[in-house]
Amino acid sequence: MRTLVVYYSQTGNTKKVADAIFAALPRDKEIMKLEDVTSLDDYDLIFAGFPIHSHGPAPKAKEFLEKQAEGRAMALFITHASPESAPDVSHMIQRCVNAAAGAQLLGVFNCQGELARDVMDRLLESKHPEMRMFGEQGNFTRGQPDAARLARAAAFADEVLAKVT
Ligand SMILES: Cc1cc2nc3c(=O)[nH]c(=O)nc-3n(C[C@H](O)[C@H](O)[C@H](O)COP(=O)(O)O)c2cc1C
Contacts of 36 (CB under 8 A, 6+ apart): none
Within a domain: residue 41? yes
Within a domain: residue 127? yes
User: Contact at 8 Å (CB) between 164 and 74?
Assistant: no
What does the pLDDT read at residue 165?
82
Cα within 13 Å of Cα(52), Cβ side: 27
> What residue owns the CA closest to ligand 1's atom 4?
53
Mean pLDDT of 132-152: 95
Task: Read off the CATH number of the domain in which 144 is found.
Answer: 3.40.50.360
Task: Give the pLDDT confidence of 80-125 residue by residue, as tens digits.
Answer: 999 999 999 999 999 999 999 999 999 999 999 999 999 999 999 9
Task: Give the pLDDT confidence of 22-53 residue by residue, as tens digits.
Answer: 999 999 999 999 999 999 999 999 999 999 99
Q: Which amino acid is at 51?
A: P
Please count the structural domains in the chain.
1
Domain region containing 69: 3-157
Q: What is the pTM of this model?
A: 0.96
Task: State which H helix or E strand residue 45 sits in.
Answer: strand 45-53
CA 44 centroid distance within chain: 19
Nearest to 107 by CA among 81, 80, 69, 77: 77
Alpha carbon of 116 to ligand 1 centroid (Å): 8
Alpha carbon of 53 to ligand 1 centroid (Å): 5
Has residue 60 got a pLDDT over 90? yes
Q: How confident is the model at residue 140 (pLDDT cuts 50, 70, 90)?
A: very high
Within a domain: residue 163? no
Within a domain: residue 72? yes
CA distances from 117 to 2, 16, 65, 114, 163 (A): 37, 18, 28, 9, 39
Pocket of ligand 1 (CB under 6 A): 9-14, 51-55, 79-82, 113-115, 119
Q: Which atom of ligand 1 is nearest to the CA of 114?
A: 19
Within a domain: residue 25? yes
